[in-house]
Structure formats: structure tokens, C-alpha cells
Structure 1
């Protein structure tokens, strides 16, 4: 079920899905309203005569004008969208193109104009002018006029959205909001009185309980996009096996690579292995549904590009650091899942490859630190971010990860900062964190 949900989320994120739905809706509305016109006779008296068209030439003229305008604007909208995607790729990185394609308003605008165009064509073809029969779909024409007004308003919102969508602060803010929602989805539980470390047990002894072992090979090359953990656990419990997963979502696999090791008491058939491999989704690109590191790297890429000599925009990099500190602060309070997964009978079934807090800190700050040498403002801001994150950190392992990054930033600062006052500012902030090691 979760695997179907994964494909549904990917389908909704595609650029063509919403437009196709709107086009189908436009076709259904055209057929339905024309049928309604065939059943209802419009009264020519009263105020209604000012809104309903009863002249053949006027009906054809209105529908032709609307359809021509809609397809023309649809082409313009498509061109503007491509220009924005090109600018986004060059300014923020190609990985962010998908974020711009996921904007619902862009999809709705493109679909609405094409749907209105097809609606007008279908209604126009329904107009009949014969000696013994004249048919003018007045209700359908009135609906086309209202749809045109709505599309004009939609175009204004589209232009406004496009104008602000390529601003650096807005891009960083949108990614930060997405990451915040993602971490709350992946790690919804707050940390309580958890133990500092995983409970120790003899893994070799656990493995020796199984008489046979099998290799689960990757069926194709690509990125591991999704693992249906619930279904995998059910299969492991049903077959009475234990699995050691070597890779997590976001990892790149080569066809034939050992994806996991399976331990069993009995011989597993080829169908059993195929059923297990069916719980893994491997695709050509990374997705963010289970890969928090991928989302973090999108933010990091913006910061790294901003720090490049060709752009030299430390303010955007500082904005990325601020938003990353929010994510890391939340993670210090979250209960990260254990790599040891047990079934309902408390039997170890899955050993997963998890990205822990230290790994997320590495993903968030390593590359920024590497590109921020000789830029005191960015290094100082990173140290301030570590101070903020450390205020929320309660676990010793989390504090050790923060201290490790603070030490690395301090070393970079001492090697690259020439101005003694800037270096002093960095060292004063570093002391607030490094003093924890002296306690």
C-alpha cells in the first residue's frame, strides 16, 4: 500500500498530471453543457437576453476569439515556464528544477488554458445552422466567457508567482518549509527518555541462528528511491527470515550489486527473492520521499553556488545556514529510528542502513565549510548556527557531532582568516561550544 502511495506522490509531482486532469475535465464539461443546452430553451425576455448569445455569427465569433487567445497565452505560459526553469538551473542548480515543476500554480495555469481552448473547440463544433434545425449552445458559451475571465485572473497570479519564485530568499524559504514538513513526516515522534546508544547484543550469535544465507541483488542500475518497510517486515516475518540492508534510499546501485543479505532456516525459492526485491523501488533519479539527505543537499547546493567566485553572494549562503540550523535543531529533539527493526514478537527481522544525526550534520555543513574558506561572515554564521543547535541537543552523541563540526570550522578560520578581529569573533563563538569538552 505504501509503495502505491509512493507512486501516487510521484505522479502528482509530475508536470503533466494536473494539466491532463484539467483537459479531461474541460472535455467532460463541454459534452455535459452542450447536452444541457439541448434540453433547455433560453427565454429571450428579461435580463437574461443580455448574457445569453442567440446569434450564430456572434456565437462563432466569441468561441473563435476565446480559443485563439487561450492557445496563444498557453504557448506564452509554457515559454515563460521554460525560461524560469533555465534561470533556476543556472542560478540555483539543476536539482532544483523539479521543485519549480512541482509548483501547483504553474501546472494549473497551463492546464486551465489548454482545457479552455479544447472546451471552446468542442462547443464551436456543436453549433448547427441547417434549414430545418438551428442549435446555439448559449449556456456553454456563457461558461466559456466566465472561464476566460477566471483565466485572466489566473494569469495575473501566475505572473506574480513567477516574479517571486526565482528570488533567492523565496527559493531557500520554500526548500526549508519542504524540509521541515519532510522531517516531521519521517521523524514525527519527539525524543523522550531514550538510551544514549543502541542496546548491544551479539549480532554474530543472532546470525548463527540461521542455517542459510542468500544475497539479494539489485535488478537494475539506479538510485534506491523507496523502501516499503511495512511490507518488507511482513514478508520477513511470514518467511521467518532476517535481512541486513546495506543501502538506504538515495544510494546508487549497480545492476547485480548486493542490496541485502538474507538469513533463513530454509531454502528460499526464486519467487521468494523476487517478492522481497519488489518492496524496493529503484529509479533513474533521487526522490525526497524517504531521502532527507537529498533535500538537505538541495539547500547546500544553493549555498555552495552562492559562495563560488563567479557569484560571491555570502548573504544567500547565510540564509541557507540559518534554515539548515532550524532543521538540525528539530532533529536533535526527534526520535530517530533504530537500525534494528523487530516484528510483533520482538524478533529481529531487519537491520537497516540509517542516516544518523552526525550523518545529517555532515550532509548539511561539510560542503558549505569547504567552500566558505576566507569568508569570515559565513564561517562566523556557521559557528552561531552550531551554538543554536547545541542549545536543543540533549544527547551526548549529538553534542559530540556539533563539537566536531565546530572544531573543523575553527581550523578553517585559523588557516584562512587574515584579519585578527574577524578571527577573534570566530574564536569567541567557538569557545561557547568547545568549552563543553572541558566539562
Structure 2
């Protein structure tokens, strides 16, 4: 079931999903409205007669005008979208393009204009003006007029939305929001029941007669692990599995993803069944990859710190949002590497996310790119001070102190102003609880 939900999530995130459904609606709706016109004659009175077509020629002119305008505006919308994608790719990185492609407003606008174009063509084909038969779909034409007015408003909304969507602060805020939602889903991420106690892995391995490497049969990024199915397979075949990879890691055919321990030799079919629990693709996804959105944020900061852009305030905004993410992680329980089956035996030893790994993913690259940029270095140290105050866990404090020490070492080699160095030293001493 979870695997189906993963595929459904991927399907919904494609650029064409929403437009296709809107276009299908644009194809189905004229048949119903034309049928309504054929069953109910409309004879508008008073001011209403100026809004409804009075003859087949008038209906044809209206529908032709709307159809031509809609397909023209659809081309304009598509061009604006491509310009926004190009700007986003150049300024924020090509991996952020799909964030714009999956934007629901962009998809809705494009689908609505194409849908109305198709709608007008279908209704136009029903207008008849011959000696034997005359038919004017009054309701259908009026609906086309209403949708045209709505699409004009939608175009204004679209232009406003595109202008906002390429602003750095809005992009960073959206990524941060998606990251926060993703983390709340992933922590804790369990395959079976998590165990907190340590196990003697060597002793557990020695209990089994055979071991076999679990190798990838495809190349690409590991996108999804069907934990429920994997645990069922391991329990059914009475196995013990050690995993070396997690979602977000790159694998290629023949790469050892883990090792299986069994009491009897596994058949090739049984091994392939277990391999089906792992899904790979050409890009990273956020469903089970908590570091994916962090890397997107880091990429924005790294580009902002490049000599060609030199935008430290965008990098500082990224640091603030990443600090908020890490602050949340200080309050959650990270998943245990030990996974127990229903029989209360250790069945899977996983490669889980750790606080140290998340800290490294968030701040290592930014620190390395911040060399020679005092405002960013100072802000990094301030972020470490905030995180140190936020957590009460001694191990987490040690990890934060380690990053603070690396930031201080960077400052000593890239900042010439003595007062800036003294300020950083004071912040570092405060993190370590030192007083001078």
C-alpha cells in the first residue's frame, strides 16, 4: 500500500498531471452543456439578451475569438514559465527547476487556457445554421464568456505569482516549509519496531549458516524503501539483513546494498523478490530522503557565495532556515538502526539518519564556501550558539561545538579584522561555556 502511495505521490508531482485533468474536464463539459442546450431552449429577456448570443453567426464569432485568444495566451503562459525556469536554473541551480514545474498555480493556468481552447472548438462544431436545421448553444457560449473573464483574472494572478516565485526569500521559505513537513513525517521512520538497546552483531551473524550480498540490479538514486514489504520478506524467509544504503544514496548495478544472512541458501527468485522492495530513479526525491531539501537550500547558499553572484544575505537567509530545521531535529528521536520483527528478534540493521550527518549536510558546504566572507562566517557562528542553547543533549552539544570550532578555524585564516575575530572567539567561548 505504501508503495502505491509513493507512486501516486510521484504521479501528482509531475508537470502534466493537473493540466491533463483540467483538459479532460474541458472535453467532457461541452457535451453536457450542449445536451442541456438541446433539452432546454433559452430565450433571454431584458438586459440578459446582450450577454447571450442571438444567432448562430454571433455564437461562431464569439467562440472563434475566444479559442484564438486562449491558445495565444497559453503560448504566452508557457513562454513566461520557461523564462522563470531559466532564471531559476541560472540563479538557484538546475535541481530547483522541478520545484517550479510542480507548482500548482503554473499547472492550473496552463491547463485552464488549453482546456478552454478545446472547449470552444467542440462547442463551435455544434453550432448549426442550415436550411434544414438551426442550433445555437446559448448556455455553452455564455459559459465560455464567463470562463474567459475568469481566465483574464487568472492571468493576472499567474504573472503576480511568477514574479514572487523567483524571489530568493520566497524560494527559500518554500523549501524550508517542505523540509519541515517532510521531517515531521520521517522522524521517526520505522521499518518494523525500533529497538534502543545495542546488539552483538557478530554473534547474530554467527547464528546463520549462509550469507549473501544484496546487490542493486539498477542504477540511480535510491528513492524509496518499502519497509513493510521488506520486513515481511525477511520474516517469511527467516533472514537477517544489514543495509548499507538509505534513500538518497546513489547505487549502480552490482553495488552491494547490504548483506543477507540465512539458514539455507536463497534462490535467485527469492533474492529478486527482496530487491523489489527498493526503488531507484535518476533524481532524488523527498519522500524518504530527509537530506534532499537540505541540499537544495545549501545549493542556493553556495551559489549566493560564488564570486559571480556575491549575495551574502541570501546565504544568511539559508543559514537561518537551516538552523530552524536543525533546532527541530534536537527535539525528535532519531530512528534506531536496529529493527525488530513481530517475533521480537533483530531482523534488520539499517543505516539511519543521524544528528551529526544532518548537521554536516546543512553546514559543511556553506562553511567551505564562506571562506573570505566575514558576515556569513559570523552568522554561522551565531547559528551554532543558538543551536547550542536550544539542545540539552550532551552528544548533540559536542557535535555543535565541533562545527563551531571549524568555523573559528576558518575565520582565523580568512578574516583580517581583529575585532571580528575577537567577536567570533567570544561567541565560541560562550558555546563551550568558557568565561574570560
- Provide the TM-score with structure 2 as the length reference: 0.96
Q: Does 1:155 align with 2:149?
A: no
CA displacement at 1:379 relative to structure 2: 0.9
Alignment partner for residue 211 of structure 2, among 213, 233, 238?
213
* Alpha-carbon distance between aligned partners in 2 of 1:45 and 1:100, rounded to the nearest angstrom: 47
Q: Deviations over 1:274-330 (max 9, x none)?
A: 211111111111111111111101000111111111111111111100000000000
Q: Which residue of 2 aligns with 1:330?
A: 328
Q: Which residue of 2 aligns with 1:277?
A: 275
Paired residue secondary structure (2:347): strand
Q: Which residue of 2 aligns with 1:102?
A: 102
Aligned positions of 1:11-410 closer than 5 A = 11-46=11-46, 48-187=48-187, 199-410=197-408
CA contact under 8 A between 1:213 and 1:263: conserved in structure 2?
Answer: yes
* Alpha-carbon distance between aligned partners in 2 of 1:322 and 1:260, rounded to the nearest angstrom: 37
CA displacement at 1:392 relative to structure 2: 2.2
Q: Deviations over 1:21-42 (max 9, x none)?
A: 1100100101111111111111
CA displacement at 1:164 relative to structure 2: 1.0
Paired residue secondary structure (1:244): strand
CA displacement at 1:435 relative to structure 2: 2.6
Q: Deviations over 1:334-382 (max 9, x none)?
A: 1111111111222111111112000000000001111111211111111
Range that drifts further, 360-369 or 33-42: 33-42
* Alpha-carbon distance between aligned partners in 2 of 1:318 and 1:40, rounded to the nearest angstrom: 64
- Count of residues in Structure 1 that have an aligned counterpart in Structure 2: 431
CA contact under 8 A between 2:188 and 2:335: conserved in structure 1?
Answer: no
Question: Are the structure 2 counterparts of residues 157 and 45 from structure 1 closer, same or farther at C-alpha, using a change threshold of 3 Å?
Answer: closer
* Alpha-carbon distance between aligned partners in 2 of 1:306 and 1:45, rounded to the nearest angstrom: 63
* Alpha-carbon distance between aligned partners in 2 of 1:188 and 1:201, rounded to the nearest angstrom: 20
Q: Which residue of 2 aligns with 1:4?
A: 4
Paired residue secondary structure (1:344): coil
* Alpha-carbon distance between aligned partners in 1 of 2:183 and 2:398, rounded to the nearest angstrom: 22
* Alpha-carbon distance between aligned partners in 2 of 1:292 and 1:88, rounded to the nearest angstrom: 23
Paired residue secondary structure (2:259): strand
- Provide the TM-score with structure 1 as the length reference: 0.95
* Alpha-carbon distance between aligned partners in 1 of 2:264 and 2:131, rounded to the nearest angstrom: 83
Paired residue secondary structure (1:334): coil
Paired residue secondary structure (2:254): coil
Q: Deviations over 1:218-240 (max 9, x none)?
A: 11111111111122112211221
CA displacement at 1:188 relative to structure 2: 6.0
Paired residue secondary structure (1:263): strand
Paired residue secondary structure (1:333): coil
* Alpha-carbon distance between aligned partners in 1 of 2:371 and 2:170, rounded to the nearest angstrom: 26
Range that drifts further, 388-397 or 415-424: 388-397
RMSD: 1.6
Paired residue secondary structure (2:433): helix
* Alpha-carbon distance between aligned partners in 1 of 2:400 and 2:217, rounded to the nearest angstrom: 39
* Alpha-carbon distance between aligned partners in 2 of 1:81 and 1:10, rounded to the nearest angstrom: 21
Range that drifts further, 41-50 or 343-352: 41-50
CA contact under 8 A between 2:334 and 2:353: conserved in structure 1?
Answer: no
* Alpha-carbon distance between aligned partners in 2 of 1:86 and 1:262, rounded to the nearest angstrom: 46
Q: Deviations over 1:240-272 (max 9, x none)?
A: 111111111111111111122111122322221
CA displacement at 1:47 relative to structure 2: 5.0
Paired residue secondary structure (2:372): coil
Range that drifts further, 71-80 or 37-46: 37-46
* Alpha-carbon distance between aligned partners in 2 of 1:235 and 1:70, rounded to the nearest angstrom: 54
